Amino acid sequence: MKLINIWNHFKTITKHRMLVCRHCFQIGLYRQGLTHDLSKYSPEEFFTGVRYYQGTRSPNAAEREDLGYSKAWLHHKGRNKHHYEYWIDISVRKEEGLVGNKMPLRYVAEMICDRIAACEVYKGKAYTSAAPLEYYEFTKKYITIHPETRALLERLLIMLKDRGEKETFRYLRELLKQGIIKSRTAFNLPDGDPAYDDGQNAGGNIAHGHDDSGADISKVRELLQTPQYRYTEDKYTAEIDDKGNPCLAKSVKQSHNSRIDTKGNGA
């Protein structure tokens, strides 16, 4: 163990935390931003990070290659709800074995912030808004994640790549504020949608109740309160669009794997 890596690892995880905190603040998740990844400073995780520090990727990956598993990661994922691995449990249908349970929206939002920050730290100046999606594409075939959470994650990563961080965060702010998930038609909603308009006024000025053209969005807010667009913590569903991509459907059905109450706690 190199002593210099104590400082190097501390700088890396602290930089990551500060970036996640900044991103979370931008979408209104203040408490989650402040408490993000605090377990990384625990002895179980910190000294593994020092021992396997490389600076270009997670030390947990190096520990996994060395031991066949990562003790630090097992400790970390069991304490941080923004990781989809936290939500893996034995299915109520025992024959299905381990399954991914649906993540509450606020933890999916924190996961997006986490993935952006991780890519920013490890890629440095080479970072682009496409990096989180590229990393996800590399891992998506073998992860255990609820299909509806997968659909939402992919939708947000694609939005990040295509429209950038500013528009994606604006969209997330509105989702978190309204408690709403809309269907695939969020990419082609009626004119003036403040959450994600595929036209010239994408996103709108949510805070002031107007879109970028100055139009009143009160009618849009009425639309967002209609049942077909209403989002509840335990109900959002995935479908496949005509191009074979996961999307979000208007109709919502309770999944037998969705054992999460309205406060986001596992039931």
Least confident of 14-23, 184-193, 241-250: 184-193
Rounded to an integer, what distance in angstroms lies between the CA atom of residue 167 and that of residue 169? 5
- What pLDDT shows up at residue 174? 87
Residue 168, CA distances (Å) to 14, 39, 171, 201 in order: 24, 28, 5, 14
Task: Share the mean pLDDT of the chain.
Answer: 76
Q: Read off the pLDDT band of 255 (50, 70, 90).
A: very low
Question: Under a CB-based contact definition with an 8 Å cutoff, are residues 262 and 134 in contact?
Answer: no
Structure confidence by residue, pLDDT tens digits, 208-220? 333 333 333 444 3
In terms of average pLDDT, the best of 19-23, 102-106, 136-140, 166-170 is 19-23
Question: Under a CB-based contact definition with an 8 Å cutoff, are residues 17 and 37 in contact?
Answer: yes
Pairing of strands 238-240, 246-248: antiparallel
pLDDT at 179 over 60: yes
For 2, other C-beta atoms within 10 Å of its C-beta total: 10
Taking Cα atoms as reference points, which of 56, 51, 26 lies closest to residue 121?
A: 56
In degrees, to the nearest 5, what angle opens at C-alpha 162 toward C-alphas 159 and 166? 65
More confident residue, 16 or 264: 16
pLDDT at 11 over 90: yes
Tokens at residue 51, please? 């021992």
pLDDT at 3 over 50: yes
Structure confidence by residue, pLDDT tens digits, 45-96? 999 999 999 989 999 999 999 999 999 999 999 999 999 999 999 999 999 9
More confident residue, 20 or 56: 20
Provide the whole-model pTM. 0.70
